[in-house]
């Protein structure tokens, strides 16, 4: 940490509102509108303070659809300085306590909205789940094919309710879930907050154009996602782009079936996938296909296809 970076960080944090913003963002990814509501200040003023904190490397900023979220920086001199500064603020500081209470109220409202959406759609999901083996069996098989050891950065493509993040989040350094549906992301955000998984992030994005840097993840999962895809091969290629050489991937989906109602009533584009079809897509995307596991159900069989990103040629 250079003297200049320390001074820049101290100058950015040495203002009451900015210190409050740092403390709030430490407790979860927050949008500008959420921070405005908590602080009771104007949007331009809050945005200006956030920009100064980001420029100094104390906060990270990222766009998620129409919203912009902020969180403490994870790497670099600014991240280390932010941790040191936040560690000096007493838990019982009056201003911090009030901000925390307002944040908790915001989170409760967010969770209530997510629960309402889940209740409205739960019957649809329950009907589908009744057609195949219990999720715990699927998750046990997934854990065997994709052990968390050696995974620092984990990606869940089409995260839905965030269940894969809940499963892998406690064992990895950083996990990101991407989904196109803002409603599903609201459900996932509430679930992650309830589980206390501060190392997990969510992004609104398309599986064909992931809002993520190339070669930035060690592992990726497609859990019951590709049957919705217009072009599954393209989605697999895009996942390969963001995986590091040697990175691992697992696709969880249905084997070929004839439950036509899943297409007509639940928007499934494909009624399952054959092993050869998936392994060909993986190979074309630069993966070495690995173990395949089949979990027979009635009438649907769940298949797990594992693969490893090819190592870079010396």
Residue 126 pLDDT exceeds 70? no
Q: Return d(Cα 262, Cα 62) in angstroms, integer.
A: 35
Share of the chain above pLDDT 70, in %: 93
* Mean pLDDT calculated for residue range 67-96: 85
- Could you give the angle at the alpha carbon of 176 between the alpha carbons of 77 and 174, nearest 5°? 45
Q: Return d(Cα 82, Cα 70) in angstroms, integer.
A: 14
Higher pLDDT, 69 or 158: 158
Res 266: pLDDT: 77
Looking at every residue in the chain, the average pLDDT score rounds to 89
191 & 79 share domain: no
Instruction: Tell me how long the chain is.
Output: 314
Q: Return d(Cα 177, Cα 200) in angstroms, integer.
A: 8
293-311 per-position pLDDT tens digit: 999 998 999 999 999 998 7
Examine residue 116 and state whether it is found in any structural domain, yes or no.
no
Residue 214: which domain range? 131-309
Share of the chain above pLDDT 90, in %: 57
Higher pLDDT, 62 or 237: 237
Examine residue 122 and state whether it is found in any structural domain, yes or no.
no
Distances (CA, A) of 295 to 165, 237, 243, 256, 259: 22, 26, 27, 13, 17
The CATH number given to whatever domain includes residue 290 is 3.40.50.150
* Mean pLDDT calculated for residue range 251-261: 92
- Overall domain count for the chain: 2
Q: Place 115 in a pLDDT band, splitting at 50, 70 and 90.
A: low
Residue 47: how many other CB atoms lie within 10 Å: 13
Interior/surface letters 196-226, b for 16+ CB within 10 angstroms, e for the rest = ebebbbbbbbebeebebeeebbbbbbbbbbb
56 DSSP 8-state letter: T
Q: Under a CB-based contact definition with an 8 Å cutoff, are residues 97 and 86 in contact?
A: no
278-290 per-position pLDDT tens digit: 999 999 999 999 9
Residue 240 pLDDT exceeds 90? yes
Residue 8: how many other CB atoms lie within 10 Å: 19
186 & 77 share domain: no
132-182 per-position pLDDT tens digit: 999 999 999 999 999 999 999 999 999 999 999 999 999 999 999 999 888
Higher pLDDT, 306 or 229: 306
Residue 37 pLDDT exceeds 70? yes
Q: Return d(Cα 223, Cα 157) in angstroms, integer.
A: 8
Which of 103, 119, 143 terminates a domain? The answer is: 103
| Least confident among 35-44, 74-83, 188-197, 292-301 | 74-83
Examine residue 8 and state whether it is found in any structural domain, yes or no.
yes
The CATH number given to whatever domain includes residue 65 is 1.10.10.10
In sequence order, what are the residues at sequence separation of 6 or more whose Cβ sits closer than 8 angstroms to the Cβ of residue 215?
241, 242, 243, 244, 245
Q: Return d(Cα 18, Cα 26) in angstroms, integer.
A: 12
Examine residue 19 and state whether it is found in any structural domain, yes or no.
yes
Q: Place 63 in a pLDDT band, splitting at 50, 70 and 90.
A: confident
Q: Place 21 in a pLDDT band, splitting at 50, 70 and 90.
A: very high
Residue 117 pLDDT exceeds 60? no
Examine residue 37 and state whether it is found in any structural domain, yes or no.
yes
* Nearest in space to 157 (alpha carbons), one of 212, 120, 77: 212
Q: Return d(Cα 63, Cα 78) in angstroms, integer.
A: 20
Q: Return d(Cα 261, Cα 204) in angstroms, integer.
A: 28
* Mean pLDDT calculated for residue range 260-273: 83
């Amino acid at each position: 940490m250079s003297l200049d970076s320390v001074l820049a960080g101290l100058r950015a944090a040495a203002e009451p509102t900015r210190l409050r913003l740092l403390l709030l963002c430490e407790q979860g990814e927050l949008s500008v509108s959420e921070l405005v509501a908590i602080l009771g200040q104007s949007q331009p003023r809050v945005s200006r303070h956030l920009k100064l904190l980001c420029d100094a490397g104390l906060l990270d900023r990222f766009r998620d659809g129409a919203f912009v979220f902020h969180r403490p920086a994870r790497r670099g001199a600014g991240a280390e300085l932010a941790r040191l500064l936040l560690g000096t603020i007493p838990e019982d500081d009056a201003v911090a306590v009030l901000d925390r209470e307002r944040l908790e109220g915001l989170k409760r409202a967010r969770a209530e909205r997510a629960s309402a959406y889940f209740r409205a759609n739960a019957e649809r999901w329950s009907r589908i789940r009744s057609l195949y083996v219990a999720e715990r069996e699927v998750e046990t098989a997934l854990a065997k094919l994709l052990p968390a050891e050696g995974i620092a950065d984990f990606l869940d493509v089409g995260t839905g309710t965030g269940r894969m993040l809940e499963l892998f989040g406690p064992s990895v350094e950083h996990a990101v879930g991407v989904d196109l549906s803002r409603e599903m992301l609201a459900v996932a955000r509430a679930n992650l907050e309830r589980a206390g998984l501060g190392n997990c992030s969510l992004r609104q994005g398309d599986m064909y154009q992931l809002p993520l840097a190339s070669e930035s993840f060690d592992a990726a999962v497609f859990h019951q996602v590709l049957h919705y895809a217009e072009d599954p091969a393209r989605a697999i290629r895009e996942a390969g782009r963001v995986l590091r050489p040697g990175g691992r991937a697992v696709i969880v989906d249905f084997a070929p079936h004839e439950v036509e109602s899943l297409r007509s009533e639940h928007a499934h584009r494909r009624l399952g996938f054959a092993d050869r079809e998936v392994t060909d897509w993986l190979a074309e995307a630069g993966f070495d296909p690995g173990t395949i596991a089949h979990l027979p159900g009635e009438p649907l069989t769940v298949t797990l296809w594992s693969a490893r990103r090819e190592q870079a040629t010396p």
